[in-house]
Amino acid sequence: MYSDAKKEYAAYGIDTEAAIASLRDIPVSIHCWQGDDVVGLDGGGALSGGIQTTGNYPGRARNFEELKADIKKAFSLMPGKKRLNLHASYAVGAEVDRDKYEPKHFAEWVKFAKELGLDGIDFNPTMFSHKNVKDGLTLSSPDESIRKFWVEHCKASIRIAEYFAREMQSHSCLNIWIPDGYKDVPADRLTPRLRLKKSLDEILKLNYDREKVIVAVESKVFGIGVESYTVGSNEFYQNYAAKNNICCLLDNGHYHPLEYVSDKIPALLAFYDKVALHVTRGVRWDSDHVVLFEDELKEIAKEIVRNNATDKVLIGLDYFDASINRLSAWVTGQRAMQKALLYALLINHEELKALQEKSDFTALMVKQEEYATLAFGTVWKEYLKREQMKEDYLTEIKEYEREVLSKR
C-alpha cells in the first residue's frame, strides 16, 4: 500500500520519503500540565486565573514520580521530535516562594528530559493558582508588592530557562501569560496596561542570553470570570513584542471564534523571526479541548510548512481534559499535530502558489480538493512504522490504566 501511495504522491510532484524525513525533524513541545489537570507540584492551590479543567477521570498524577511515569509512558507513544514544556508550578522540592525559584528546583526535570532524549525544555512562569494573585491581578496589580513579586518570579523564570537552554543545548521558549482582567465593565482600561508594560520592561532589563531564551508574550481575549477586559490583549502584546524585540505567542483558543491563527502566522512572519504557538482546540470559547486532526489545525500546519517556517514557528501544545484518560488525551493531541504537519508536507505548495499567482483560481480549487482524498493515511501509517509505533495506542494506554492509574 505504501509503494502505491508513494507513486500517487509522486504524480503530484511530492516525495513521501522527504516528507517523512522532514516530519521527524520538526520539534513539538509537549505541555506537562495535561497530566495533572494543571495542579502543579508546588502546592499553589486550586486552579485559578480564568482557566478550568473539567472532569474527574480517575488516575490523575498526584506527585512528581507519578507525573514522570505518565509522561514517560505517554511520550513513548508519540512519534517525532519532542520537547518538554514545563510550568514554574512544577518545581520539585522547593521550600521557597515562586519569586525565589532557582535552577536547582528543576534539576530533576533536566535529568528526566535527558533520560528521555528530548530535544529541549520550554518554560512558563506560573502567575495563577497562588495567594499573590490579588483581586485577579499579577503583573498589572496596583499593589506594588504584588507587582514586584511577579516581576521577580518572571526574572527567576528567565534564569531557569537559561539553565534549561545550557543543559539541553537547545533554546528555551519562556512564555509569559497572565490572567489579569476584570469580570465587568472597567472604569480604566489604560492604567493596568501601563503597569503591565512597566513590569515587562523591568523583567527584560535582566541581562539574559537572547539567542538561547526566547521570551514570548501570550495574549487572550477573555477568561472565565474575567469576561469584560483582559489586560494582556492581542494589540497590547503585539505592539510590545514588536517594539521590544521579543516574540508573540498565539494560542488558537484566545481569539474570537471567527479569527484564525492560521492567518495570523504569516502576518507575523512578515515582521518577526520567531512566532510561538499554543496549539489547542477551542470549542465556542477558550475551552482547551484536546487537539484533533481538523481543518484549522491543517491550515496552521500548512502556514508553517509552505512558508519554510518550521524553525521559525515554535510549536507548543496547550490543552487539558480531565474527563477522559489523560494519557490518551496527550497522545491524541500530539499525534494530531504530527498528522497535520505530515498532511502539509504532502502538498505541492509551489504548484498551488503558482496557480494563485496566475489567478487560476479554478485549477487552484480543484487541486486543493484533490489533496483531501489522496492516500494520506497510508503515509501516516508508514511514518508510524518507521518510528516503531503502532496506530493503536489505546490498547497500551488501557493496560496502563488497569496496571497503574486505577491503583492511585
The single residue of 33, 109, 150, 177 carrying the catalytic annotation is: 177
Minimum CB distance to ligand RNT, residue 40 (Å) = 10
Q: Does 281 help bind Zn ion (rule: CB under 5 A)?
A: no
Q: Does 278 help bind Zn ion (rule: CB under 5 A)?
A: yes
Minimum CB distance to Zn ion, residue 318 (Å) = 4
Given the complex with ligand RNT, which of 213 and 355 has the nearer CB atom?
213
Given the complex with ligand RNT, which of 150 and 177 has the nearer CB atom?
177
Given the complex with ligand RNT, which of 278 and 281 has the nearer CB atom?
278
Q: How many CB atoms lie within 10 A of CB 62?
A: 12
Buried b (16+ CB within 10 A) or exposed e, 46-57: ebbbbbbbeeeb
Enter the C-alpha cell of residue 91: 518545581
**Residue 4 is among the residues annotated as catalytic for this protein:** no
Q: Which does 20 bind (CB under 5 to 8 A by kind): Zn ion, ligand RNT, none?
A: none
Site residues (CB under 6 A) for ligand RNT?
A: 33, 38, 51, 124, 177, 218, 220, 251, 278, 286, 318
**Residue 177 is among the residues annotated as catalytic for this protein:** yes
Given the complex with ligand RNT, which of 75 and 320 has the nearer CB atom?
320
Given the complex with ligand RNT, which of 33 and 240 has the nearer CB atom?
33
- 185-194 long-range contacts, Cβ below 8 Å, gap at least 24? 185/228, 185/229, 186/228, 186/229, 189/229, 191/142, 192/137, 192/140, 192/142, 192/231, 193/140, 193/231, 193/236
- Residue 316: half-sphere exposure toward Cβ, Cα within 13 Å: 29
**Residue 285 is among the residues annotated as catalytic for this protein:** no
Answer for which of 36, 70, 162, 318 binds Zn ion (CB under 5 A) is 318
Q: How many CB atoms lie within 10 A of CB 356?
A: 11
Enter the C-alpha cell of residue 57: 477521570
Angle at 37 between CA 31 and CA 38, to 5 degrees: 60
The single residue of 119, 218, 303, 401 carrying the catalytic annotation is: 218
Asked if residue 15 lies in contact with residue 392, where contact means CB atoms within 8 angstroms, the answer is no
Q: Which does 286 bind (CB under 5 to 8 A by kind): ligand RNT, Zn ion, none?
A: ligand RNT
Residues of this chain that bind Zn ion (CB under 5 A): 251, 278, 318
**Which residues are known to be catalytic?**
177, 218, 220, 251, 254, 278, 286, 288, 318
